Amino acid sequence: MIQFEQVSKVYSGGQKALLNVNFHLQKGEMAFLTGHSGAGKSTLLKLITVIERATAGKVSINGHDIAKVGVKHVPYLRRNIGMIFQNHHLLMDKSVFDNVALPLVIEGFSHGEIRKRVAAALDMVGLYGKERHIPIMLSGGEQQRVGIARAIVNKPPILLADEPTGNLDPKLSMDILRLFETFNDAGTTVLIATHDLGLIARMKYRTLTLRQGTMLGGEPSGAMTAGGV
């Protein structure tokens, strides 16, 4: 589903963020992406969502080389990827409903359909009944779950999470991870970037480790390399 072949990313300042990264995440797989801050986790996620473009190598999503996706088509590509951020990236002056509905409104769903899907997504993350709240009224964990609901509301085949448990206590973190497992069970490909090694250790999923821009454990594809660095 997500494939990196000899991918390097050098920022315009000369900073080498990624060097010859190879890995292949199968359809329906769930994996962790780990490494110290500055190891290139965020850059890797940005390459998948075309916020940045690779300097060298090939990034493919579902077999499509995304270097060939023009600027005009990037929005359509992003609709296939649900993204979850550490700082939630919510619209702070809009209600929970409006926040979660945003991808559907953009896609052009009818009002009735939007209500149905938003209700289902909020139910899934345990925020049913909080549609009218604005994010500021919610706790950090709840805000994160609003972000998750928004990421999954249009049922994307890929889910990316950048430090989704960064600000949460272990119990809440575990709840969030269980949530990702549910989506994964439903067939969604999930990639979670985190430096919370304790969390990873408790779950038996493949771990991709970045160290100073190079990847350890990327190959062999599909192998379960549970554990830490």
Partner 1 sequence: MSLTQSKLPLTGRIVMFFIRHLQQGTASLGELWRNPLSSFMTMAVLGVSLSLPAALQVLVKNAENITQSWNSAAEISLFINDGRSEQSIQSLISRIRVYSEVDSVSYISRSQALEEFQSLSGFGEALSYLDENPLPAVVTVTPLAKYSSPVGARQLLQKLEHEPEVNFGRLDVEWLERLQALVNLLERTVMAVGSLLMLAVVLVIGNTIRLAIMNRRTEIEIMKLVGATEAFIQRPFLYTGIWYGIIGGMLAWIIVNILVLFLDGALADLLGLYGSTISIQSLSFSELIQLVLLASFLGWLGSYLSVRQHLRKIEPS
Q: Pick between residue 102 and residue 176 the one whose CB is nearest to partner 1.
A: 102
End-to-end Cα spacing for the chain: 25
Q: Pick between residue 86 and residue 173 the one whose CB is nearest to partner 1.
A: 86
CB of 78 to partner 1, least distance (A): 4
Q: By C-alpha distance, which of 97, 77, 91, 86 is closest to 156?
A: 77
CB of 58 to partner 1, least distance (A): 15
Q: Pick between residue 91 and residue 201 the one whose CB is nearest to partner 1.
A: 91
What is the total residue count of the chain?
229
Q: Tokens 């473009």 sit at which residue?
A: 53
Q: Sort 169 into a burial class: Cβ within 10 Å, 0-12 / 13-18 / 19+.
A: exposed
Which residues face 31 on adjacent strands?
A: 191, 206
CB of 141 to partner 1, least distance (A): 20
What CA–CA distance (Å, rounded) separates 213 from 57?
14
Please give the C-alpha separations between residue 9 and each of 16, 52, 78, in angstroms, as whole numbers: 6, 9, 20
Q: Pick between residue 56 and residue 106 the one whose CB is nearest to partner 1.
A: 106
Q: Pick between residue 61 and residue 200 the one whose CB is nearest to partner 1.
A: 61
List of residues contacting partner 1 (CB under 8 A): 49, 51, 61-62, 64, 69, 72-73, 75-80, 83, 89-91, 102-103, 106-110, 150, 157
CB of 166 to partner 1, least distance (A): 18
CB of 67 to partner 1, least distance (A): 13
Please give the C-alpha separations between residue 50 and each of 75, 114, 149, 186, in angstroms, as whole numbers: 9, 27, 22, 25
Q: Pick between residue 72 and residue 171 the one whose CB is nearest to partner 1.
A: 72
CB of 170 to partner 1, least distance (A): 28
Q: By C-alpha distance, which of 130, 186, 122, 116 is closest to 158?
A: 186
Q: Tokens 């600027």 sit at which residue?
A: 71
